[in-house]
Structure 1
Amino acid sequence: TSYMLYIILSIQKESLGCRVCKQGIDTVYELLENGATKEAIEQFLEGVCNLFDDVETKQVCKSFIDTEYDKLIKFLENSYSSEVICTLLSACDYPHPPIHSGCDACLVGFGFLEDLWSYKPTEEMIEIALQYVCNIFPSGNSRNECVAFIDREFENLIDWVDKEFPPQFMCTAVGACDFPFDPVEDGLCLFCEGAMTFIYDFFEFDEQNGAEVIAVVLDYICLIFPEGESRQMCDELIEQEAQKFIDFIEHEFPPENICILVGACESNITPVYDTECEFCEIFYQFALDMLDFEPSIEAIEHLLEYICDIFPGTLKTVCQRFVDNKWEHLLELLNEEYPADIACQVMGACVE
């Protein structure tokens, strides 16, 4: 990919200062393992700083050691790689594609922080990393804008990085990147489908903590909008249907289906029937349509738990009674993907 090409080129063009820094940090690791004193390590590091040809890098290096020695040791104690530490020290360049916008810059900065997650940093370490992440940008406007951005959003960013939220979310939530749909301008349906797609694209869930992580994501997802009517509309939808969102996302319902089932998008249900057979076929076909993704039994159970909320007026009561009476049949027939006419005959709602 083009991104890998940037990384390869950056390695090929790695500066002497970067190599010196990494070798120096690797040596410090050895000194720590051999029980070297603080004074000995400081003296060694100052010698490393003097090896840099670039005056600014030399000054940054010495200043960092003079004022942040204890924090540097914490970086080392966390076994951060020499590449990470030297990038934070500005000795090494962080490989990234060209930056054409504030969104690009934000994604690059938090992409770097994302690289730290494999080290499972503490909140204190996240604070330290945030203070130095702007050093990945060359001095000038990009770095100054980064510093101002970090200062403005510091508390939020600590929270989000600690939760391992992806860069795309953080940069959208702070307004650096735009979310393409708005619940006011585009309507709840487009917004809902866009938000669910966003969650699937950028967040990862597993079986052990799926529901818990999804709940946290939903608590924050509306921050992708600026304060005002759009965020309020988003908050109201999420708050009203939170458990449905959690259950449907956890069981990987497609965005379009989720948004129909939470009422953000219209369904194609025909609210008119004359017989139990007609109702059964309407209900069952709609259920099949909502399960067009290789669902688990648990997913089918959640669908049956919530599906009647979609039916208008008195149909909701009729629907709930039907589901309660036919629960076991419905689980089996939907799992086997029986067509509506046969399923309704099996359940006794229709007669040949």
Structure 2
Amino acid sequence: MIRLWFLKLKVLWRSEHIWAFYMGLFMLYLTKFVFFIDELPVTIPLYGLFMSTMTLVILNSPKRYHMVHMIRLTNWNPIRRTLQSWLFSFFCTLPASTLLFFTIREIFKDTPVYLLMFVIFGLSYFAISFAFVISLLPFKMAILCSVSLYMVLTLMHGYKLESVRYVAPTLNFMYPDYPDMINMLSIFFLGILMLAIYCWSGVDWPRRQKKILLFILMIIAAAYIAVPLGQIWNGRHLANEPYQKVQVNNIVVQYKGIPHTIATRYGQVVSDIIDELNEHKINPNIAQIIITRLDHVPKGTQLEHILKLEEKTLYIEPYSNKFYEFNYGYNIIRDMLELSETDHQIGQQITQSLISKNKHHFFDSLQRRGLSETYE
């Protein structure tokens, strides 16, 4: 295996000019010095494009240089050859994963390293597996499919990705502190499904073995489809579930569809904002909070606003894990100030005071970066 890898690398370096890909990758990385930090996430799908393109070149090279017969002499099972090719592709795309890590580390400096590595691996896993299945197409058509997919992911960056939650490998880059495990599970099954399609269609199996592989492929497809179906069932079941309660200071928090810790987090941050408003002689008059996790992206253009105040009840309806984080995720200070109809100048003072006090460490990143322009 090691000798074969060295042979492949030699061919790729000299004949496919793989060094040019790495030069392009490095130029992509340098854009971090051109864009503002808030704009850097737009470049994330382009790293996935590099990974998929690199994998396509790797998979196409044996055909181009008539190495297929040499690889078959290894007497490896086709599935084993597929896994070996996947690992080799993963090795060759490690520079992209590494530079992507340094890029998102600039954005999420307070996020644990293991979570950043987790979401990067998810993108790498998808990008390589996707390249395998589209490699069944002619090379130019496969490149076109790859470019089209990642351009769509770039254009859909942000809350729109929630509408394609089960196929979006870049979704968790919006909130690596609170990764969406349903999304990761979907990407896991989707990756296996794409590899299974590659093995089933790209190899000339004996009839009996091909039927067995088709049966396995159908099981994997069923497992993938079961994820969104399970979420639909869970959403309907949740609608009939009673709300749970937790007391945060003088506020009663009722919640369902979210963990107890997140409900407490919302209660604490709202309580902190109310205390600050009271110090400026503004009384929002909130007695309770009702939090309901939505299983769909709401219609309309106000996708970043999830608060609604009716009489003495504050309704919070998050539909994404991004709303659990208050530094680079959800701007809850802005929405609370808008609901209380706070003057712009006073709002800036309240924002600065909340971030500087940072009672429950919800604004550590903003405080460290010295940013208090969250009220607009």
TM-score (norm 1): 0.26
- Name the structure where strand makes up a greater proportion of residues: 2
User: Considering only CA atoms, is the larger Rg found in Structure 1 or Structure 2?
Assistant: 1
- Name the structure where helix makes up a greater proportion of residues: 1
Q: Which has the higher contact order (CA 8 A, sep 6+)?
A: 2
TM-score (norm 2): 0.25
